[in-house]
């Protein structure tokens, strides 16, 4: 599909991913219900801590009408501007053949501006947003589960010593069940989250009914008054208010699973009203309290909304909701890692498919256990959800601000909005998201440094792999012998033996080093020699009709290319079944796969600093083999080594 047609489809909304373009209300409703269970857990559990942290964070606020109404108004307008307008209304139109998320958006943008001098800036912004996501995916499970388990102290203050052990047990259990897949557990997600959202909406409605004046906070003037009165303190309060919209980027990232229509229905028809009712309810409850009651209630306003007899069930329900929210973030980390591997930013990692029917359900052991260790360290280091809140905001707001910059490229370079229309929209969100990011910068010394450190490390690894891979391919191409020349010279200089030899090659030109080594040492050629390259397109999915590209080079030599999207699994044996034109059917028992494993050597003129070369060499040594990644039959693989200087 051309860029122009892709743009038209995206803007017109003709392609609704997730339900095969059907417009039936029943299927749309079913998908909307499924989205409630999978997508909205992160933003849905924010009421557990967002309101509390705004008042009791590093820069505490007086609990009076001015501040309560001001904060509630800020939460309402933040949710409206950032989630409803920026992500749900605008960015959800920016799908890449139905898929959303930062990497999918970058792939879409680079098709249009990749060859320009600004194209690399777009790629780097996308990579850094991805790096920040890993920090977010570590903090979200820790803060969500901790904040829920801390509700036990509202039920019984003597349970406080058990909070961290219980949270750790739940989190470790969460990571250990990942290898079993989430299909079975996932069936319970939607009903539990519907009960959770309904419960928090009912609690909020009860308190609003007791103090309906809180609805005046819908007026943005209360937020303005807050800033006029408190100035810099109100600005710093934005750093906690933004916790109410954490998870908004997940709505865009998970668009491919459900489609923009069902997700918009879920958000506007159910999730947003429930959240707003709860936030307004928390504000109404606090505004009704006597001064001597505020300190005790403010320690956990979410759980204090419920009558004392119902607080323990609410703690259990909230813990289930945070468990689901954490599951969604971990699954998101697997998905974004898979995308980054396919797009060439992360080395091949061992990937397991946990569902025979749903290709998107994957499990990456390295990512799973790295996240588990990081989450355990976070819980032990920060001890409670209030301390973790300082670390949380910087990763979220950083990723949101990058999304805004990428949205600017989208409006001007891809959608080509008129500047007097696009510029005000862009400036509005640059101002809003920039303000939230700036408000979180003072939190860097008290915890915000953690996601920044994780982001810098991840960014360094991602860019080092991409650069090293590019240099290695360039060096191999420089010395590669044209396959046409090789085929003519080799046909009479080596003994032909029965069977098929498939030589995996990263480039579509030249002779793979494994083929050269094989003929040099074994002095034989198979009857059918196939040079096979797997190419990953910058679209999520490549249809099966476009999977295979075959060139007959004569004398039993073939050049074959398998095309995949960055969301698809690269199953080479399955792809070969469609290559009947490549000299006939492939019998796996008569086929041998020859792989090259490169060893890096020091170069007189290194293409990147030595320390980065060492990192790249370490990543190359520890990456999964092509045999694992391409799902090759283990008893039909021959691996030959070669040396490369970069």
Mean pLDDT across the chain, nearest whole number?
83
Tokens found for residue 39:
């997508």
Describe the chain by its helix, strand, coil percentages, rounded to 5.
65, 10, 25
Strand partners, 593: 502, 637
Tokens found for residue 193:
């989250």
Percent of the chain with pLDDT over 90: 24
Which ranges of 539-624 does DSSP label H, i.e. alpha helix? 572-576, 610-622
Q: Per-residue confidence at 203, pLDDT binned at 50, 70, 90? A: very high
The three-class DSSP label of residue 644 is strand
Residue 309 lies in a domain: yes
Q: 438 or 115: whose pLDDT is higher?
A: 438
Alpha carbon dihedral 323, 325, 326, 329, in 10-degree steps, equals 160
C-alpha count within 13 angstroms, C-beta hemisphere, residue 24:
8
Query: Above 80 in pLDDT, residue 117?
Result: no
Instruction: Give the pLDDT mean for 572-591.
Output: 76
Q: How does pLDDT run across 348-387, given as a tens digit for each residue?
A: 888 877 655 555 567 889 999 999 999 999 999 988 888 8
Which ranges of 414-534 does DSSP label H, i.e. alpha helix? 419-440, 449-478, 483-490, 513-521
Residue 362 lies in a domain: yes
Among residues 412, 447, 482, which one ends one of the domains? Answer: 447
Alpha carbon dihedral 496, 498, 499, 500, in 10-degree steps, equals 10
Strands of 1-147, DSSP E: none
Q: Can you tell me the distance from the alpha carbon of 490 to that of 476, in angstroms, rounded to the nearest whole number?
A: 20
Tokens found for residue 539:
């679209």
Q: State residue 27's pLDDT score.
A: 80
C-alpha count within 13 angstroms, C-beta hemisphere, residue 598:
23
Domain assignment of residue 334, given as a range:
27-447
Query: Above 60 in pLDDT, residue 244?
Result: yes
**What radius of gyration do the chain's Cα atoms show?**
27
Q: Full-prediction pTM beyond 0.85?
A: no
Q: Which helix (DSSP H) or strand (DSSP E) does residue 405 occupy?
A: helix 385-409
Tokens found for residue 568:
């698809």
- If asked whether residues 374 and 487 sit together in one domain, one would say no
Q: Can you tell me the distance from the alpha carbon of 344 to that of 303, in angstroms, rounded to the nearest whole number?
A: 46
Tokens found for residue 110:
């680079």
Query: Into how many domains does the chain fold?
Result: 2
- If asked whether residues 179 and 126 sit together in one domain, one would say yes
Tell me the range of 159-168, 193-202, 323-332, 575-584 where mean pLDDT is highest: 193-202
Positive or negative: CA dihedral 608, 610, 615, 617: positive
Query: Above 50 in pLDDT, residue 100?
Result: yes
- If asked whether residues 479 and 372 sit together in one domain, one would say no
Q: 607 or 318: whose pLDDT is higher?
A: 318
Q: 114 or 228: whose pLDDT is higher?
A: 228
Backbone region of residue 18 per phi and psi (left: phi > 0; alpha: psi in -120 to 50; beta: other values) = left
Phi and psi at 385, nearest 5°, equal -70, -30
Q: Which helix (DSSP H) or strand (DSSP E) does residue 562 occupy?
A: strand 557-564
C-alpha count within 13 angstroms, C-beta hemisphere, residue 347:
18
What residues contact 160, with CB distance under 8 A and at least 6 apart?
Answer: 152, 153
* Whether the Cβ atoms of residue 511 and residue 486 lie closer than 8 Å to each other: yes
* Whether the Cβ atoms of residue 598 and residue 640 lie closer than 8 Å to each other: no
Q: Which helix (DSSP H) or strand (DSSP E) does residue 601 occupy?
A: strand 591-601
Strand partners, 496: 525
Phi and psi at 563, nearest 5°, equal -100, 130
Tokens found for residue 232:
């810099």
Residue 364 lies in a domain: yes
Strand partners, 533: 561
Q: How does pLDDT run across 256-310, given as a tens digit for each residue?
A: 777 888 889 999 999 999 999 999 999 999 988 766 677 777 888 899 999 988 9
Q: Look up tokens 């306003």; give the residue.
A: 301
Q: Per-residue confidence at 24, pLDDT binned at 50, 70, 90? A: very low
Residue 157 lies in a domain: yes
Query: Pairing between strand 557-564 and 362-363?
Result: unpaired
Q: Which helix (DSSP H) or strand (DSSP E) does residue 638 occupy?
A: strand 637-645
DSSP one-letter code for 151: T
CA distances for 221 relative to 7, 236, 244, 439, angstroms: 39, 19, 20, 20
Alpha carbon dihedral 214, 217, 219, 222, in 10-degree steps, equals 130
Q: Can you tell me the distance from the alpha carbon of 616 to that of 599, in angstroms, rounded to the nearest whole number?
A: 11
Q: Per-residue confidence at 135, pLDDT binned at 50, 70, 90? A: confident
Q: 352 or 165: whose pLDDT is higher?
A: 165
- If asked whether residues 215 and 357 sit together in one domain, one would say yes
- If asked whether residues 189 and 233 sit together in one domain, one would say yes
Q: What DSSP string runs through 520-551? A: HHT-EEEEEEEEEEEEE-SSS---GGGSEEEE
- If asked whether residues 585 and 442 sit together in one domain, one would say no
- If asked whether residues 299 and 251 sit together in one domain, one would say yes
Instruction: Give the pLDDT mean for 531-548.
Output: 85
- If asked whether residues 443 and 485 sit together in one domain, one would say no
Q: Per-residue confidence at 6, pLDDT binned at 50, 70, 90? A: very low
Q: Can you tell me the distance from the alpha carbon of 398 to that of 506, in angstroms, rounded to the nearest whole number?
A: 35
The three-class DSSP label of residue 99 is strand
Q: How many CB atoms lie within 10 A of CB 494?
A: 16
Residue 70 lies in a domain: yes
CA distances for 190 relative to 1, 330, 554, 572, angstroms: 35, 17, 57, 36
| Maximum separation of any 2 CA atoms in the chain, in Å | 97
Q: What DSSP string runs through 100-134? A: -SHHHHHHHHHHHHTTSTTHHHHHHHHHHHHHHHH
- If asked whether residues 442 and 295 sit together in one domain, one would say yes
- If asked whether residues 262 and 302 sit together in one domain, one would say yes
Query: Above 50 in pLDDT, residue 404?
Result: yes
Q: Per-residue confidence at 433, pLDDT binned at 50, 70, 90? A: very high
Q: Can you tell me the distance from the alpha carbon of 436 to that of 238, in angstroms, rounded to the nearest whole number?
A: 6
- If asked whether residues 542 and 608 sit together in one domain, one would say yes
Q: How does pLDDT run across 487-523, given as a tens digit for each residue?
A: 777 766 778 888 889 998 887 777 888 888 888 787 8
Instruction: Give the pLDDT mean for 522-539.
Output: 86
Q: State residue 14's pLDDT score.
A: 36
Query: Above 70 in pLDDT, residue 582?
Result: no
DSSP one-letter code for 555: T
Q: Can you tell me the distance from the alpha carbon of 205 to that of 270, in angstroms, rounded to the nearest whole number?
A: 14
Residue 33 lies in a domain: yes
What CATH number did the domain enclosing 224 receive? 1.20.1740.10
Q: How does pLDDT run across 594-617, given as a tens digit for each residue?
A: 988 777 776 666 778 888 888 988
Residue 199 lies in a domain: yes
Q: For the chain, what's the residue count?
A: 646
The burial of 434, by beta-carbon neighbours within 10 Å (0-12 exposed, 13-18 middle, 19 or more buried), is given as: middle
Which ranges of 491-609 does DSSP label H, i.e. alpha helix? 513-521, 572-576
Among residues 390, 412, 447, which one ends one of the domains? Answer: 447
Closest C-alpha among 401, 273, 329, 326 to residue 134:
329
* Whether the Cβ atoms of residue 405 and residue 434 lie closer than 8 Å to each other: no
Q: Per-residue confidence at 19, pLDDT binned at 50, 70, 90? A: very low
Q: Per-residue confidence at 1, pLDDT binned at 50, 70, 90? A: very low
Q: Per-residue confidence at 477, pLDDT binned at 50, 70, 90? A: confident
Residue 469 lies in a domain: no
Tokens found for residue 45:
């559990």
- If asked whether residues 443 and 478 sit together in one domain, one would say no
Q: State residue 16's pLDDT score.
A: 42
Taking each helix axis as running N to C, give the angle between helix 183-210 and helix 272-288, from 0 to 180 degrees, rounded to the nearest 10: 40
Percent of the chain with pLDDT over 70: 90
């Amino acid at each position: 599909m051309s860029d122009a047609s892709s743009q038209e489809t995206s803007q017109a909304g003709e392609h609704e991913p997730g339900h095969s373009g059907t417009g039936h209300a029943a299927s749309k409703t079913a998908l909307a219900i499924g989205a409630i269970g999978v997508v909205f857990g992160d933003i849905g559990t924010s009421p557990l801590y967002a309101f509390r942290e705004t008042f009791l964070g590093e820069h505490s606020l007086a609990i009076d009408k001015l501040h309560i109404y001001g904060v509630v108004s800020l939460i309402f307008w933040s949710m409206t501007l950032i989630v409803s307008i920026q992500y749900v209304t605008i960015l959800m139109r920016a799908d890449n053949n139905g898929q959303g998320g930062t990497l999918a958006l970058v792939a879409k943008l680079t098709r249009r501006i990749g060859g320009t001098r600004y194209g690399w800036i777009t790629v780097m912004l996308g990579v850094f947003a991805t790096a920040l996501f890993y920090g977010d995916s570590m903090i979200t499970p820790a803060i969500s589960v901790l904040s829920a388990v801390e509700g036990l102290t509202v039920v019984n203050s003597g349970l406080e010593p058990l909070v961290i052990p219980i949270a750790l047990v739940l989190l470790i259990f969460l990571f250990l069940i990942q290898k079993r897949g989430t299909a079975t557990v996932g069936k319970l997600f939607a009903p539990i989250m519907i009960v959770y959202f309904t419960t928090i909406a009912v609690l909020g409605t009860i308190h609003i009914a007791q103090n309906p004046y809180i609805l005046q906070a819908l007026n943005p003037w209360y937020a303005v008054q807050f800033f006029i009165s408190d100035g810099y303190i109100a600005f710093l309060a934005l750093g906690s208010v933004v916790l109410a919209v954490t998870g908004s980027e997940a709505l865009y990232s998970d668009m491919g699973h459900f489609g923009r229509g069902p997700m918009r229905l879920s958000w506007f028809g159910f999730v947003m009203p429930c959240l707003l009712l709860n936030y307004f309810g928390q504000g109404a409850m606090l505004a009704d309290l006597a001064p001597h009651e505020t300190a005790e209630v403010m320690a956990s306003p979410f759980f204090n909304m419920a009558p004392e007899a119902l607080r323990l069930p609410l703690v259990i329900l909230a813990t289930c909701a945070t468990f689901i929210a954490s599951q969604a973030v971990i699954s998101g980390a697997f998905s974004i890692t898979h995308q980054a591997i396919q797009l060439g930013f992360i080395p091949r990692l061992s990937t397991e498919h946990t569902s025979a029917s749903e290709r998107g359900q994957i499990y990456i052991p390295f990512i799973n256990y790295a996240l588990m260790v990081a989450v355990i360290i976070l819980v032990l280091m920060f001890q409670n959800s209030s301390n973790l809140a300082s670390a949380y905001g910087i990763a979220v707001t950083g990723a949101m601000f990058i999304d805004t910059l990428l949205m600017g490229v989208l409006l001007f370079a891809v959608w080509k909005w008129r500047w007097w229309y696009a510029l005000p929209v862009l400036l509005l969100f640059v101002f809003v998201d920039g303000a939230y990011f700036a408000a979180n910068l003072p939190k860097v010394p008290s915890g915000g440094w953690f996601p920044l450190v994780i982001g810098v490390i991840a960014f360094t690894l991602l860019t080092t792999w991409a650069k090293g891979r590019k240099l290695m391919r360039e060096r191999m191409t420089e010395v590669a012998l044209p396959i046409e020349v090789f085929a003519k010279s080799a046909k009479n200089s080596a003994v032909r033996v029965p069977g098929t030899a498939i030589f995996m090659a990263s480039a579509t030109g030249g002779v793979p080093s494994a083929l050269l080594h094989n003929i040099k040492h074994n002095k034989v050629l198979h009857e059918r020699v196939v040079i096979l390259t797997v190419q990953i397109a910058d679209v999520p999915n490549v249809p099966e009709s476009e999977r295979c590209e075959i060139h007959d080079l004569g004398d039993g030599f073939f050049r074959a290319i398998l095309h995949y999207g960055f969301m698809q699994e690269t199953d080479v044996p399955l792809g070969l079944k469609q290559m009947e034109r490549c000299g006939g059917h492939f019998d796996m028992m008569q086929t041998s796969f020859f792989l090259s494993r490169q060893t890096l050597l020091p170069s007189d003129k290194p293409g990147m600093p030595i320390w980065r070369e060492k990192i790249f060499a370490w990543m190359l040594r520890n990456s999964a083999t092509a045999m694992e990644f391409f799902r090759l039959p283990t008893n039909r693989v021959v691996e030959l080594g070669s040396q490369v200087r970069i």
